[in-house]
Chains A and B, each alone.
Chain A
Amino acid sequence: SQQGEEDPQALSIQEGENATMNCSYKTSINNLQWYRQNSGRGLVHLILIRSNEREKHSGRLRVTLDTSKKSSSLLITASRAADTASYFCATDTQETSGSRLTFGEGTQLTVNP
C-alpha cells in the first residue's frame, strides 16, 4: 500500500491565490520530499524536509512536517498559471546513503489565469 496519501486529489484556484496540499504517511521516516510533475514530463524535486525539522522554505514554497501526526503540507504562495502540475509527496525511510522513496498518488493543481 502507498506510504503517502495526498489530499486533495485535485485543486483548482485562481492566479495569485495560495495552494495548500497535504500528505499523510504511515511509518517513521528519515525525510519527506515533494516533487512536481508537469503533464507528460518526469518528476522534478522541489524540497526536502528531514524528520527533525518542522518547517522549511524555498522561494514561494513552504513545507511543514508534523511527525507526531505523520503528516506534511506544501504551501505554494501567490500561485501562477505555470504552477499548474501534479504534486507528489514521497517518504524516505532509508537512514544510510541513497534513498528509497515511496510516493503518494499526487494532487493535481490547476491555476487559472
Chain B
Amino acid sequence: DAGITQSPRHKVTETGTPVTLRCHQTENHRYMYWYRQDPGHGLRLIHYSYGVKDTDKGEVSDGYSVSRSKTEDFLLTLESATSSQTSVYFCAISDWFSYEQYFGPGTRLTVT
C-alpha cells in the first residue's frame, strides 16, 4: 500500500463522541486526501491537503475537520459522530509531479 498506514483499522463508537482517524505516509508526498466509501456512492472526497497546514474542503466535508502539522501525517476528525458517518474511510497520497493517487488500506468506522 505504497507506504501508507491508517489507524485504527476498525473502530466502533457511539453517536455524539469525537473520533480521530490517522493517516501516516513514508513517501514524503505533498498531497494527502481523505475519502469515504459507501455502497451506491463510490468514493467521495472529504478533505485534502496540499502541504503542511494547507487544507481544503472536498465534496462531503460537513461534520469533518482535518489537520496536517507534519508532511507525513494527515488527521481526520469527526467532531460529533453520527450514524450517517458509518463508512469506510480511505486516505490517499499523490505528489506534485504525478496525478496518480496511492491509497491506504482503509478504516472501517461504525457509529452506533
Contact = CB atoms under 8 A, between A and B. Distances in A.
Interface stretch (A12-20, A58-66, A76-84, A92-100): A92-100
Contacts of A94: 99
Interface stretch (B12-20, B41-49, B63-71, B74-82): B41-49
A90 B37 CA distance: 14
Interface residues of B, number: 27
A41 B105 contact: yes
A103 B44 contact: yes
Given A98-B31, A100-B48, A43 B43 contact: yes
Contact of A88 (B31, B42, B50): B42
Interface in A1-52: 2, 4, 30-31, 33, 35, 40-45, 48
A72 B35 CA distance: 23
21 contacts: A4-B42, A30-B99, A31-B99, A33-B101, A35-B103, A40-B106, A42-B1, A42-B90, A42-B106, A43-B43, A43-B101, A44-B103, A94-B99, A99-B101, A100-B48, A101-B43, A102-B45, A103-B35, A103-B44, A104-B42, A105-B42
Interface of A: 2, 4, 30-31, 33, 35, 40-45, 48, 88, 90, 92, 94, 97-106
Interface of B: 1, 4, 30-31, 35, 40-45, 48, 50, 59, 90, 92, 94, 96-97, 99-106
